[in-house]
Chains A and B, each alone.
Chain A
């Protein structure tokens, strides 16, 4: 399953999300926002497709707004 890109409003949200996912033992990686997605901040996050649902659920539960963007 391909990786899923998680998009956030702000740098703060990305860093908070990284900390939350690390605490939840969900592997993630901070990456640049792909250039075709120019409306968000400079940082995004990659999680594996298998973990995406858990990651989004966990972040939403923590009050961190997140959008999914499946990698082509």
Chain B
């Protein structure tokens, strides 16, 4: 019996719904045409698909203000748009203790270029933010808070609504790269100011797709400047959204695929109980430290392992060579998270599930892990 050997879905998801490739191919082979630049049939059809996809992303994000859902190449571009688009010179930015380098590297650049100070929000040992202490961490010069909604290392899901409530008027950027497609996102209900997501992870779409949500677009300057198909007589970027942040031709083929992914999401093939049992049984093997949320209710579908003797890279190689199982070892572009979790610099072996996994697949990786340390 075949099994789904791919457990690297936090890097990028695989497989995709079959409709994704079908729609990408249909665009490339049959539809063609640009977005928003012309009024002939195929160009208008492309524009309809792009806008329908924007509306679907608005549903994913839980926002009614869908004009402010802006296509980007990935979550990193969306995050950079916020960090470089705000006036943060000389200001303080608070971050969660589990941030990815998509946030930490631009902030490091801003620290050098604009004197931005970066501090970490109060948190527990698993990196979950202590919302009762958030308000005390604020200072008059705190201009932005950035929170990784679901960690790509231990899968901790942060209490976004409670964090925003504690922040009051201080704007919050939610990096929902890992949670989109897996957990509930309700930006309107939670009052979140900015959010970044990618299309190719939990949403099961193609790489090269993502989006930014900006509740107050006037608070940001565009990151990229260029053609939009609108106000073409001016050399300045339009002030209205989404055009303000969409210079250049978007990834139309990818957006066709993303729409198909959003419309054809599979039912999840494993249960919460299957997932909880997997983590418990791995811990029960006695060979691994399971790096996960302290509270199972705050656990997303990704977690990490540290073997008591083998390095993560050796373990990953052994899992692949012996069992064909594909995982990711190392720091997962999140050194700050590993420092928080005590797994820096060696990192961890990461297991990231897909809705296409079944309880049998979970049993398969458990069996493989139980044999992985045999000599």
Interface assignment of A12: CB less than 8 Å from any CB of chain B? yes
Neighbouring A residues of B238 by C-beta, 8 Å: 9-10
Given A16-B51, A30-B44, A43-B44, check contact A11 B36 (CB 8 Å): yes
Least CB distance from A37 to B in Å reads 10
Interface assignment of B14: CB less than 8 Å from any CB of chain A? no
A40-58 to B contact mask, C-beta < 8 Å, 1/0? 1111100000000000000
Most buried by B among A31, A32, A43: A43
Within 8 A of A (CB), among B33-69: 35-39, 44, 47-48, 50-51, 54, 67
Q: Contact partner of A9 among B38, B39, B51, B230, CB < 8 A?
A: B230
CB of A39 within 8 A of CB of B48, answer: no
Interface assignment of B240: CB less than 8 Å from any CB of chain A? yes
Neighbouring B residues of A2 by C-beta, 8 Å: none
Least CB distance from B344 to A in Å reads 44
CA distance A43 to B21 in the complex (A): 29
CA distance A44 to B47 in the complex (A): 13
CB of A14 within 8 A of CB of B229, answer: no
Within 8 A of B (CB), among A12-32: 12, 14-16, 18, 30-32
Within 8 A of A (CB), among B219-270: 228-234, 238, 240, 242-243
Given A10-B238, A31-B39, check contact A40 B51 (CB 8 Å): no
Given A12-B67, A30-B39, check contact A39 B233 (CB 8 Å): yes
Neighbouring B residues of A38 by C-beta, 8 Å: 232-233
**Chain B: CB-nearest residue to A30:** B44
Neighbouring A residues of B231 by C-beta, 8 Å: 9, 39-41
CA distance A16 to B50 in the complex (A): 11
Least CB distance from B270 to A in Å reads 38
B154-175 to A contact mask, C-beta < 8 Å, 1/0? 0000000000000000000000
> How many residues on chain B are close to A (CB under 8 Å)?
23
**Chain A: CB-nearest residue to B35:** A11
CA distance A40 to B36 in the complex (A): 11
**Chain B: CB-nearest residue to A43:** B39
Q: Contact partner of A11 among B47, B232, B233, CB < 8 A?
A: B47
Given A16-B51, A43-B44, check contact A11 B39 (CB 8 Å): no
Neighbouring A residues of B37 by C-beta, 8 Å: 42
CB of A10 within 8 A of CB of B243, answer: yes
CA distance A59 to B148 in the complex (A): 38
CB of A42 within 8 A of CB of B39, answer: yes
B22-39 to A contact mask, C-beta < 8 Å, 1/0? 000000000000011111
Given A10-B230, A40-B230, A41-B230, check contact A15 B243 (CB 8 Å): no
CA distance A33 to B229 in the complex (A): 11
Q: Contact partner of B36 among A31, A41, A44, CB < 8 A?
A: A41
Most buried by B among A15, A18, A40: A15
Least CB distance from A11 to B in Å reads 3
**Chain A: CB-nearest residue to B51:** A15
**Chain B: CB-nearest residue to A9:** B240
Least CB distance from B341 to A in Å reads 42
**Chain B: CB-nearest residue to A44:** B39
CA distance A40 to B230 in the complex (A): 6
Least CB distance from A67 to B in Å reads 14
Top 6 closest A-B pairs, CB basis?
A11-B36, A41-B230, A32-B39, A15-B51, A42-B229, A30-B44
